[in-house]
Chain A
Amino acid sequence: MSPGIEPRASTPGKNPHSAQAAQRMIREELPVVRAAALAWRNGLAGLLAGLLGFSLIKGRSDVSQLSAPWRFAVGVLLLAALTTGAYGAMRLLRAAHGRPRKRPLESVRSRLAADRDEAGESLAALDRGVAATLACAALLAAAVAVTWYGPAAAKPKLRVVVQGETICGSVISAANDRLTLSTENGERVIDLAQAAGFAPVTDCGT
């Protein structure tokens, strides 16, 4: 099926303003898409700069303070944010600047048609780039939130045997041959000279 046109009876006095506006809009499609893509590209660049510099994470700044599964979750979220951001950047750059490529000359029969095709492809790239940018921001926010509010890693504890009694807790201080532990039953001061054994543990229940 090939398209054609057939003349219709002319209608004198018909205002061509709408057709003028439409043709002008069509000629501005590509610049509109390009300008929007540039704006999004700049926004994503700022987001990625924050991500790569890790400067957005201000609360708890070290993920090693998180408990193990949450630490890995932050890593996965940051990796996903980086991947999504990179994909979004590629799409936005495609939309903002196009992709130079060779084309057979006989296929270029209308600049208006070529611009229309390019505007359509750029608009699709812009939509994907915008979605990826928003996803990147969401993933980054999730990574920050987990880093701030995720459960802290358990502090190492010490189990000490003194005069047949086993005392377990986290170390508060150690000075003058005296060790102060924080135990379930409150603080305990231990004379190190009488300690028969030490064992570092992660959990006093084990």
Chain B
Amino acid sequence: MSGEHEPLPYQETTSDEYAIHAKETFEIVKTKDGSLALVGSCKRCGHAMEFLIAKDGVTRTWLARLTGARNRVLDPALALPALADDEDGAQMICACEQEHPGRPDGYLGCGAYWDVAVTMS
């Protein structure tokens, strides 16, 4: 856990504990389109985070670019396959919005990542 004055540096790392912590503590909120928002705190840095598991996402079309929308353009080839690794699984990351030194531009979290499977019971 990080101290208030010394935030953990960004480091891409994983541990089985991260996924176990997520299963035991994260709240799952279902959206209208069936996506799952996982709400909790990161096991590594302790910061509050939200992570969405979805099958698709909205991106800008060529027409939106022409009409002058000024949002950053993401590469769909990078983004879409990562929403869910397979039918029922996903790679989760720490998605907190607090500062972590050394974090690449545009990234979220402290670098912690872990794998989960989505189940229906």
Interface of A with B (CB < 8 Å)?
1-12, 14-26, 28-29, 31-33, 35-36, 39-40, 43, 109-113, 116-117, 119-121, 123
Contact = CB atoms under 8 A, between A and B. Distances in A.
B119 A6 contact: yes
Contact of B67 (A1, A11, A14, A39): A39
A6 B51 CA distance: 15
A185 B24 CA distance: 100
A3 B34 CA distance: 10
Given A16-B12, A24-B74, A33-B58, A7 B119 contact: no
A21 B76 CA distance: 9
Contacts of B106: 20, 24
A179 to B, nearest CB: 62
Contacts of B52: 23, 26, 112-113, 116
Contacts of B32: 116-117, 120-121
Contacts of B116: 5-8
Interface size class of B (residues with CB under 8 A): 35 or more
A14 B92 CA distance: 11
B31 to A, nearest CB: 5
A109 B108 contact: no
Interface in B59-98: 59-61, 63-64, 67-72, 74-75, 78-83, 89-93, 95
B72 A28 contact: yes
Given A3-B119, A110-B39, A11 B14 contact: yes
A187 to B, nearest CB: 59
Chain A contact residues: helix, strand, loop or mixed: helix
Q: Chain B binding site: helix, strand, loop or mixed by DSSP?
A: mixed
Interface of B: 12-16, 18-20, 22-23, 26-33, 35-39, 50-52, 54, 57-61, 63-64, 67-72, 74-75, 78-83, 89-93, 95, 106-108, 111, 113-121
Nearest to A26: B52
B121 A35 contact: no
Given A25-B57, A25-B58, 7 more contacts: A6-B117, A10-B18, A10-B115, A16-B91, A110-B39, A116-B54, A119-B58
Among B16, B89, B114, max chain A CB count under 10 A is at: B114
B50 A35 contact: no
A18 B37 contact: no
B57 A10 contact: no
B108 A20 contact: yes
